[in-house]
Amino acid sequence: MTGSSDGSLLVAAAITVAAPLIGSAATAFGFRRGSPRRFAVAVACVSLLASLAITMLWSRTDGAPFVFGNRLGGGRLVCIDGITAVLLPYVALVEMSILLVAPRRALEQSSVPRILFGAAATFALFLTSHPLLLIVLWCATVLPTWVSVRSTPGGTAAARVFAIAMSAALVCMAVGTVLLIIDPPWAAAAGWVGSAGGWLVAIAVMVRKGIFPFHSWYPALFSGATMSTALAATMPQVASYTAVRLLIGHVDHPEGVAAELVVLSQLALVTATYGAALAIVQRDLRSLIGTLAMSQSAMVLAGLAGTLPMELNGAFCVWISSGLALTGIGLVSWALESRAGPIRLDTPQGRFWDAPALAAFFLLFGLSGIGLPGTLSFVADDLIVSGSLDEQLHAGLLVILATVLSGIAMMRGWFHVFGGPVDSEGTRHGILPRERLALTILLAVLFLLGLWPDPLVRALDRATGRLLGVSVAAPDHGMHDLQDLLQGR
């Protein structure tokens, strides 16, 4: 990397974090009082453009990570690699879409600073691999969520469950990370201290991702918080990023803490299948979205624990595709709730007449999350299933089963929300321009990456090769299948 490229990457990273941080402070002191949406969306757009600049600058490099700051425990203060270049624009797009679709009452002067501060903390977390800074940013991303849930009418119970789960996760994360620094398990002379640290970090990841048996807070958050809070807290998948940096992010010693990854993988597979099955029997729309989000999040972790580049590649693609699809579904549901109140799934609601455009978006996002040809999830499912079947037969079968159950739950939800008797004389609610814009962008990205996956998959190919210590130029089992997929064979 040249010096000018390094400087440009650092400037773009600083803008990505500073824009929402400054915006949070400005709105907290009353700037744009009464109409904070445009300002918040403008701030989010700045971060999105800066993150895309990072992606473009990174695509012109040789693939070596850009690091800044002193090294500690295998991490740096600023770390920009292929994973950051791919995931950061995804997180920024999710944050911007939330701000665009949020109903007016959800963007009060007191809530916008929390949303922007949480976004800044999340961006900063995805730009670092420093162990101690990861701990601080875990706290910084949890606090706005807890405050928001606690201030939501009827959200006291959900806030309590969330606080208990996150407190346990933060303690395990802090203690485990310190132990990893003291006695790195990837070092030749590692002892039981580092091993204990690895297990504590793995438990922290399990709790924060809602992996069985620590999953109860996940659907509770979607039921008791605003949709913006639930999506912003879960869609970036902070715990997955932490697992990448602390458990599999040491290229020189790829064996790392493999025992923890194996356990995480198996429990994640169980959670993905269990969550998808649980989604089929939910009686309200928010619970359906919460359990589906729990299932898809677990599938990402199952793929990250793989030992094949193809499986990790699929996990990152699932990370992005499921995140965009679930964000779209959540925002459509939020738009419906703003018009008609809570949506039950006990009986068909007949909402198609009321909101046909939202019905179309709901269906397209639902299909986009379960492998619709032409979308990114089609590529992601092929990669992760092929990688899982190559490595472990039962893992591939569980991934397929979870996908099938998710599809059943999604279609059941769509028919119960939009199907059934309609009131042709009732009021019809047209989709708002800002809602159409946000949902169209999310859907367009899913189809664009699905129809033209080559740049994304090749970038992830380089990134996963570095994570596993595999030369990207070396022929790897499964890579030929990947090339066949990209070339349409």
Residues 6+ away with beta carbon under 8 Å from 265: 301, 302, 305, 306, 395
User: Nearest CA to 214 among 160, 158, 169?
Assistant: 169
Number of residues assigned to the chain:
489
Residue pair 396/315 in contact (Cβ under 8 Å)? The answer is no
Cα 375 from chain centroid?
17
Do residues 320 and 465 both lie within one domain? yes
Do residues 121 and 150 both lie within one domain? no
d(CA 150, CA 154): 8
- Which structural domain, as residue segments, surrounds residue 454? 257-489
Report pLDDT for 425: 63
Do residues 99 and 212 both lie within one domain? no
- Which residue, 232, 256, 280, sits at the end of a domain? 256
- Which residue, 239, 256, 273, sits at the end of a domain? 256
Do residues 199 and 308 both lie within one domain? no
Do residues 240 and 380 both lie within one domain? no
Do residues 13 and 158 both lie within one domain? no
Do residues 271 and 412 both lie within one domain? yes
Residue type, 317: C
* pLDDT, one tens digit for every residue, the chain (489 residues): 555 667 888 899 999 999 999 999 998 887 766 678 889 999 999 999 999 999 998 888 777 777 777 666 667 888 888 889 999 999 999 999 999 998 888 777 678 889 999 999 999 999 998 889 999 999 999 999 999 998 888 888 899 999 999 999 999 999 999 888 887 765 555 677 777 888 899 999 999 998 988 988 988 899 888 898 999 999 999 999 998 888 875 434 444 445 777 788 889 999 999 999 999 999 889 999 999 999 998 988 888 776 667 778 888 999 999 999 999 999 999 998 888 778 888 888 777 877 888 999 999 999 998 888 899 988 888 887 776 666 677 877 888 899 899 999 999 999 988 887 776 666 666 788 999 999 999 999 999 999 998 888 888 888 777 776 665 443 343 434 444 444 444
d(CA 54, CA 88): 9
Do residues 474 and 451 both lie within one domain? yes
d(CA 214, CA 264): 12
* Number of structural domains the chain divides into: 3
The pTM of this model reads 0.89
Torsion angle, alpha carbons of 168, 238, 380, 477, to 10:
-80
d(CA 3, CA 7): 6
Q: DSSP secondary-structure letter at 78? A: E
Residue type, 141: T
Residue pair 398/273 in contact (Cβ under 8 Å)? The answer is yes
Rg (the chain; Cα; Å) = 21
Do residues 199 and 185 both lie within one domain? yes
List phi, psi (to 5°) of 80. Answer: -120, 115
Report pLDDT for 379: 87
Other beta carbons less than 10 A from residue 484's beta carbon: 10
Do residues 97 and 137 both lie within one domain? no
Other beta carbons less than 10 A from residue 84's beta carbon: 25
- Which residue, 196, 230, 256, sits at the end of a domain? 256
Do residues 276 and 164 both lie within one domain? no
Do residues 266 and 238 both lie within one domain? no
